[in-house]
Amino acid sequence: MKQAICMCLALVLTGWMWQSCDDGETYAEQRERERDAIAAFLGRDVVIRSSDGEELIRVGKINTISEGTFYAQDSTTNLERNEYVVFENTGVYMQIVRKGAGDKLRSGQQKRIICRYTEFNILRDSVQTTNNSSYWATNPDIMDVTNNYGTFTASFNTSVNGGGAMYAYYGSTAVPAGWLVPLTYINIGRQLSAEDEIAKVRLIVPHSQGHSDASSNVYPCFYEITFQEMRN
């Protein structure tokens, strides 16, 4: 009798385990869900609002262009057509709102860059993190960036101000790879006159190019980021 009971319990446990596996999403299913979410985001007239309903960013319906078209346009995206270039090797979408004052980061050069950003979780359809608030006004995210012969490496600086919002939320100094994509095409400088404007971009970053939380939970994020050279 005991043996029969043990066998029944084992069968029940095995069935429960198989059911648990069936209920969970596979990585392939998560990636498919992410691709569907990005596709839907591109076709929506998206307005990103704060928690109190204030309009932060009007994304609009996005027109994608190839890298070939992007380079033929002198590495620019047409804002009137709301163009975003899609980089096939990474899956990152980018719109250059402003190329910015100053110069591009040269090979072998290092710079400390102030970043102000808003992060929108595309799957959850909500603002996830931002340092565009009074709380973070004097404590922005700072990146230490190096151009290694066209390959950019970076980490969030915690020695200057203890770290910004990205470090506070995710507990890591690792900069999402997607944040580094624009550095090939924008200038990194400061606003020295009324005519000068610092660089500003908008990005759609898949989980593979995002921070650790996005990577482990397989979700894409939309970002609006400004890049400003930090005064020595």
Q: Model confidence over 124-134: pLDDT tens digits?
A: 999 999 999 99
Considering the domain boundaries, does residue 83 fall inside one?
A: yes
∠ CA(179), CA(183), CA(92), 5° rounding?
45
Considering the domain boundaries, does residue 110 fall inside one?
A: yes
Residue 58 β-bridge partners = 47
- Predicted confidence band of residue 144 (pLDDT cuts 50, 70, 90): very high
State the residue for tokens 């404590």: 139
Which of the two residues, 8 and 117, has the higher pLDDT score?
Answer: 117
Across the range 175-192, mean pLDDT stands at 96
Stretch among 5-19, 37-51, 147-161, 200-214 having the lowest mean pLDDT:
5-19
Considering the domain boundaries, does residue 17 fall inside one?
A: no
What lies within 8 Å, CB to CB, of 209 at 6+ separation is: 90, 91, 92, 176, 177, 178, 181
Instruction: Give the domain CATH number at 47.
Output: 3.10.50.40
- As to burial, measured by CB atoms within 10 angstroms (0-12 exposed, 13-18 middle, 19+ buried), residue 61 is exposed
Considering the domain boundaries, does residue 146 fall inside one?
A: yes
Considering the domain boundaries, does residue 196 fall inside one?
A: yes
Considering the domain boundaries, does residue 2 fall inside one?
A: no
Q: What is the pTM of this model?
A: 0.88
Residue 194 region, left (φ>0) first, then alpha (ψ -120 to 50), else beta? Answer: alpha
What is the residue range of 219's domain? Answer: 27-229
Considering the domain boundaries, does residue 112 fall inside one?
A: yes
40, 51, 41: which is closest to 129 by C-alpha?
Answer: 51
- Predicted confidence band of residue 23 (pLDDT cuts 50, 70, 90): low
Residue 14: predicted pLDDT: 36
Query: What's the pLDDT tens digit per position in 51-78?
Result: 888 899 999 999 999 999 999 999 999 9
226, 155, 154: which is closest to 197 by C-alpha?
Answer: 226
Considering the domain boundaries, does residue 86 fall inside one?
A: yes
- In angstroms, rounded to a whole number, what is the distance separating the alpha carbons of residues 105 and 113? 11
- In angstroms, rounded to a whole number, what is the distance separating the alpha carbons of residues 227 and 112? 10
Q: Give me the number of domains the chain comprises.
A: 1
- State yes or no: pLDDT of 19 exceeds 60: no
62, 56, 58, 25: which is closest to 40 by C-alpha?
Answer: 62
